[in-house]
Chain A
Amino acid sequence: MSTTPKRSSPSLNLLVLALVLAIDLIAFVAIVWAAQTKGYYPSKLAALRSLALFVPIIAVFLWLMRRQKFRGEMLIFTAAAFLFGFGLVMQYRLFSDPEYSSRGAQRGKAREEKAQTVRLLNIKTGYDEDKKRFMFGALEAIPEELPRPARPGAVRTFADILFSSTTFIPLGALVAMMGAFVLFKNERIVLWLQRRSLLIGVATMIPFAALVLGFSEEGKFLGQTTPWEPVKIVFLMSFAGVLADSYRHLARTRWGLPPFKYLTPFAVIAAMPVVPFFALSDFGQMLVFFGVYVMLYAVAVRKPAQLAYGLLLIVVLFAGFSVASRAKSGFGIPPRVYFRFYMWTHLWEPPQADTWWWKRDFERYLKAKNLPLNRDDPREVKQRNSEAWSDKVMQQSQGLFGIHDGGAFGAGLGLGFPETVPISDSDFIYAAAAEETGLAGALALLLALGVVVSAGISISLRAPDMFTKLIAAGLTGFLGLQSIVNIGGVLRLLPMTGITLPFVSHGGWSLITSFAMLGILLAISDRNSRAVAEKDAAVPAQFIAVH
């Protein structure tokens, strides 16, 4: 009896991919149309380029099916492509808006120009002839468009569009996916990875930590990019490898504690991401790592008592840090974290002006805006403090206002104001999507995300050996938990962190890392199917040491 599990038909997946392309086309048309009412003209060439990215996606799909003779579950790829397409739409919406894509004084000008164009439209459609004649002299004198000075860099050539990061990054991501897939399909590589997991972990950690500690500055490196994101995968693999080797020993506890011989290397591997990401102040990533590692430990060792110990340890550490920071010993929880926690719980109420973790930001605000302050006047201090706070929490509050305005079906693509939410093309892309496509659009996004996680879990469930099982669960955990942390931060379910939404945010290395993870998951899925098929065919399989 064949126990090969059903998998979704490839033609269904192909159909869905084609339909995703179709609805994205509709979305692009909507954006271009809406932009006209606001007086700017998004590049149709750029739209075509973005839609054309579906060609390599479908090509990769066919490559997987034909050349690689993929036997696994394609659903995860299709769902990821859906999310990618949604991300394409939102990127286009935001970057084609002259206000969002310009800086400094140009921003204000672009905003004004948009508003003036809407006023002209209102006059054309809403004013009677007398008023029109009065304002413009004659009906014929009403301009078609308001005269505008030429904006620098407004016209982009075909080459500009083709050779920009918006083209390269998705292509790079697909290449990364294909590379990861091919690598992970190779049994020898997988074996080697498991054998040398501890070594690989340490070998990656040292140069990475050195780089980071040398250049760290509040989490940004080489501009706004975060090129260490793929390192996450390596860390995860080394953790999974060590855990796969020692999980049975770790489960033999004495008063709930695992034997030290196995605990030590494990603890080293587990602690590794903490130091550099702490130095980078990237607490979102730390949170995701922590969550995934705990989950992997829990599913492998399955001793709730140990989990309790671990959590207790964390709580003690956290409390220790927090006491240290309150004592202002210069070491401890950074003010930024306090700020994020306070913002999470008291978004609409500014803290007192002299609160230790807020003081410096308040002063910075006053200096930046060049505002003198009469500190003896409590009313004025309160007023300025309130202004400084509103300015500091702007990203979160503007995002929430947008979500509120979005309602059930959104304000309409191109008709909302996501450009008022800072960094809404990566960190807060969920807010931009919610504002323009509403709860319904966000639901579609969340459903697709659910499919990705579900399919990833499925891949993990079917994995025949612990190592790949843990890798699959870990990667799925990354994708799922990172999404929850990102969206939760936007919605105030969790404190805000500077983390991106996988597949939807196209910023820098986030997309490449996500697709690389996808490639690995697909490879594992393929392996699973072959393992079952071989087992069915009663051929002894080359399993990695089954425990």
Chain B
Amino acid sequence: MLIPKILTIVFVLAGLALALLLARAAMASRTPRALLRSALQRLDATNRWILIARLTFFILLGAVIGFHSYWAFFADRDQKFNRAKQLDARNRRLAESALKGWVLDRSRKLENALIRYRYDGGLISRDYPLGPAAVHLTGYSDFVFGSGGIESAFRDWLTSPDSTYNELLSPVPVGKDIAVSIDSVLQREVFGLIQATGKPAGAVVLLLPSNEVLAMASAPSFDPLTINNEETWSSMTDQAENAPERSPLVNRALGTLVTGGPSFYFRPGSTFKVFTAAVAIESGMTNEHFTCRGEGFTPPGFARAVRDFGGEVHGSIGFKDAFRVSCNQYFAQLGLKLGRERMAAYARRLGISSNPESEAGRANDLWQTKNAEPKSFAFIFAPPRGRMDLTSKANSFDLALQSFGQGYDDVTVMQMALLAAAAASPDGTLIAPSLQPDLPKKIIGPFVSAHSAAELRSLMKLVVESGTAAGAFSHLRGRISIAGKTGSADRDVMITNADGDPVVDFMDAQGRPHYKYANWTDSWFIGFAPADDPKIAFAVCVENGGQGAKTAAPIAAKICEKAAALGYFNGAQRSNP
């Protein structure tokens, strides 16, 4: 590449010199005025006018040079030009010739890479070895249809020239590689587990204490290489817009779209009792006994009652037991006792807004990131901010429901994983999650005191030992000790057909359609392991998976087994303290 450039400069400079030589000769052999006048008097006037014509030509030539200079040096000051230049056909050629950086996993081994290039049949193409298992992390990359995930969030880094790139030898840059905190093997396992349920699901696994993301999976999923034609693209984006509950473009672990932008929330169900319990412990209100009745608990001034799952009745029950067996009525009453303001204050510590109208939006500052351009990263990976309604408009019934994870509670799976991580942290602080390994941990703020966190941990240990999750983890007893909380989130879901249109149940007397609803129970489990010296925290949510112990907890058990097998519990894998 160097030689042609040098030769071109020689060509240009020599050409200019020759042209100047010719110009000088032209000037030298100009017709002297005397000759013009003497021999050709009658036509002198015409000659003068011809000279004016020549002058006009040279003025136009000057204008040409001026315009050329504008386009060569100043055109990029015009925003319209810059915008139009994005459609320059040259960009495509540069993109097709350039090599973006590879995205390696935390092991930095090439065979575990998340995004790389492969050589196949004479073609060098961008490859996503984990395919659908990691597409919500990696995103995809197509010249026409854009990119998503890490391809988009880290685009500036991945396209900036690598230090080994030799500008003189190669016409287009080789991009910088990046290592992310993901563990490829674990990622495959987690995705396999949630995909096997056949239901929409999301799961997050964090490495403690830095909250690096070890795995983040979402199902249903899609193969990133299929985004390369108009048909697939428009059908997928239409579906994401009209029927997001079915769309594989949604990252259910984060509540965002692979292509960037917020998506929907989940209701946390009983896993939210971890939060209420934490508030109670910190406030010293753990000595209460409340009664759990068959007819349910009716908040004062209301006619509707709060009931437990399957109509369970626990009678008069204390704090520990209520947590262990996940008693809704207890927590409803506890929440009312704790009060709106207290709950809102602790929710704020977790980044959950208590006024959905004014503080809704995305948690743009949540993640800790080093090599990504902040806005690009936030556009892809900032989850919608968790929210509750603890304003004066929320009545006692609302508060009661929210205390055990129903009602106006809106969270993401990541939010709940962070809650589990906060419980697992020795000093009860909330640490920012990160996609890059080996960054010093970034503390968002305190959640509860170290003492309260310890008590919370022992509660969660109880759940697994003898509580609602005992059955799911019994096979691991003695080998791995895990702590956590099950959740069964109830919600009424409008049934939609494949196009996202609601299905009509019946038409009423006035001719208005009534749509079909179904009652779904999302299966949740959040927790950390090992229970006594936490190394990982996780959250799993399977839509319509039934009770927490039924689907989500067994998945969490397998995740912990795999993490143990990979050496996360015996100190073989470490992150910065």
Contact = CB atoms under 8 A, between A and B. Distances in A.
Contact of A34 (B4, B40, B81): B4
Given A16-B18, A119-B97, A434 B72 contact: yes
Contact of A492 (B31, B67, B97, B98): B67
B15 A23 contact: yes
Interface string B38-51: 11101101110111
Given A302-B45, A434-B68, A461-B50, A116 B123 contact: yes
B73 interface: yes
Contact of B89 (A22, A420, A446): A420
B13 interface: yes
Q: Is the interface of B mostly helix, strand, loop or mixed?
A: helix
A86 B15 contact: yes
Contacts of B30: 5, 458
B576 interface: no
Nearest to B172: A118
Interface in A365-403: 390, 394, 397-398, 400-403
Interface string A452-475: 011101101110111001000100
Given A119-B99, A302-B46, 5 more contacts: A19-B18, A348-B83, A413-B8, A450-B61, A484-B61
Contacts of A406: 72
B40 to A, nearest CB: 6
A146 interface: yes
Interface stretch (A125-133, A164-172, A332-340, A355-363): A125-133
A381 B186 CA distance: 46
Q: Which 3 A-B pairs have the closest CB atoms?
A: A30-B7, A126-B174, A115-B96
A544 B234 CA distance: 77
Contacts of A436: 8
A408 B12 CA distance: 10
10 contacts: A5-B32, A6-B29, A29-B7, A82-B19, A403-B72, A437-B12, A440-B16, A465-B43, A491-B64, A491-B68
Q: Which of B31, B45, B71 has the most CB of A within 10 A?
A: B71
B94 to A, nearest CB: 9
Given A406-B72, A493-B67, A6 B28 contact: yes
Contacts of B49: 298-299, 302
B75 A148 contact: no
Contacts of A131: 102, 110
A447 B68 contact: no
Which DSSP category, helix, strand, loop or mixed, fits chain A's interface?
helix
Given A3-B38, A16-B22, A448-B19, A408 B72 contact: yes
B5 to A, nearest CB: 4
B75 A447 contact: no
B122 interface: yes
A180 interface: no
Given A135-B118, A461-B31, A493-B64, A451 B22 contact: yes
Interface string B109-149: 01100000111001110000000000000000000000000
A458 B13 CA distance: 28
A6 B174 CA distance: 59
Given A3-B34, A16-B22, A487-B64, A409 B9 contact: yes
Interface stretch (B159-167, B289-297, B299-307, B436-444): B159-167
B58 interface: yes
B2 to A, nearest CB: 9
B493 interface: no
A227 to B, nearest CB: 28
B36 to A, nearest CB: 6
A206 B9 CA distance: 51
A444 B69 contact: no
B15 A122 contact: no
A8 interface: yes
Nearest to B42: A547
B10 interface: yes
A493 B170 CA distance: 36
B80 interface: yes
Contact of B174 (A127, A299, A457): A127
A273 B90 CA distance: 40
A257 interface: no
B31 A447 contact: no
B67 A414 contact: no
A466 B58 CA distance: 24
Nearest to B102: A131
Contacts of A408: 72-73
A12 B25 contact: yes
A415 interface: yes
B29 A8 contact: yes
Given A348-B83, A390-B84, A405-B90, A454 B46 contact: no
Given A79-B22, A298-B49, A437-B11, A401 B31 contact: no
Given A410-B12, A437-B12, A487-B64, A31 B4 contact: yes
Interface in A210-224: none
B12 A295 contact: no
B31 A413 contact: no
A19 B98 CA distance: 38
A26 interface: yes
A5 B10 CA distance: 35
Interface in B230-268: none
Contacts of A390: 84, 87
Contacts of B39: 3, 464, 532, 535
B68 A401 contact: no
A466 B45 CA distance: 12
B174 A122 contact: yes
A128 B164 contact: yes
A453 B36 CA distance: 18
Given A126-B174, A348-B84, A491-B68, A116 B124 contact: yes
A73 B27 CA distance: 12
A36 B57 CA distance: 41
Contacts of B25: 8, 12, 75
Interface in A86-112: 86, 89, 111-112
